Structure 1
């Protein structure tokens, strides 16, 4: 499945959903992409997501941060048989850059198991898959 600059691939062998952004995107495309990931996850009953952000710049805005925290993440608790695990895959350079409060690094730095999801930031795909398998 490919739309919104995003390629979503089910990986039943892991089991996980791998979502790779293929190009720079707009804020509306980002939101539509997250809903597409959620739809694919619902179809498969899959709570393990690898989100590959290496091919796009980070979108930073107070509006997107609010949307993630107030509109998207609240959809996750109780949706699957386990808390959603979101592994964010970024380039090593991006991981080293200073991050703002609205960045993926800030989102992934705070564990939220009581909110129905867990997040982590990775620079290596194999490490992300190991974390997803826990």
Structure 2
């Protein structure tokens, strides 16, 4: 499936959903992309997601960070049999700059296992898959 500059691929062998942004996107496309990932996950009953952000720049804004924190993440708890696990795959260069304000930094800092989801940033895909399977 490809929408919003996003390719969503079910990986039943993992099991996980892999979502890769293929181009630069706008804030509305980011929101629509997250909703598309959620719809795909619901269709498969899959709460393990690898979000590959390496081909797009940050979509940075207080509004996006707030939307993720107050509207998107609250949709996740109790949705699947196990808490949702979201692995964010970023480039090593972006990881080196991660101390700067960014949507990925805000998202990963929002991990709240007690609220039914886990997030973590990775620079290596294999390591992300290992964490998703844990």
TM-score bracket for this pair, using the shorter chain length: over 0.9
1:6-43 alpha-carbon deviations (Å, 9 max, x no partner): 00000000000000000000000000000000000000
In structure 1, the residue corresponding to 2:86 is in which secondary structure? strand
Write the distance in 2 (CA, Å) between the matches of 1:2 and 1:110: 27
Equivalent position of 2:100 in the other structure: 99
Q: Which residue in the other structure is 1:33 paired with?
A: 33
What is the CA RMSD across the aligned residues, in angstroms?
0.9
1:8 corresponds to 2:8: yes
* Conservation of the 8 A alpha-carbon contact between 1:95 and 1:105: no
Q: Which residue of 2 aligns with 1:90?
A: 90
Say whether 1:125 aligns with 2:125: yes
Could you tell me which runs of 5 or more consecutive residues in structure 1 were left unpaired when the two chains were aligned: none
Correspondence for 1:43: 43
Deviations 1:92-124 (CA, angstroms, capped at 9, x unpaired): 000001321x42123214531111100000000
Q: Does 1:112 align with 2:112?
A: yes
Alignment gaps of 5+ in structure 2:
none
**Structure 2 CA distance for aligned equivalents of residues 39 and 20 of structure 1:** 15
Secondary structure at 1:28 match in 2: helix
Number of residues paired by the alignment? 133
Structure-1-length-normalised TM-score: 0.96
SS of residue matched to 2:81: coil
Q: Is the 8 A contact 1:85 1:119 kept in 2?
A: yes
Distance in structure 2 (CA, Å) of the matches to 1:126 and 1:68? 26
- Secondary structure in structure 2 of the residue aligned to 1:37: helix
Runs of 4+ aligned structure 1 residues displaced above 6 Å come to none
Task: Give secondary structure in 2 for the equivalent of 1:94.
Answer: helix
Residues 99 and 106 in structure 1, CA contact (< 8 A), matched pair in contact too = no
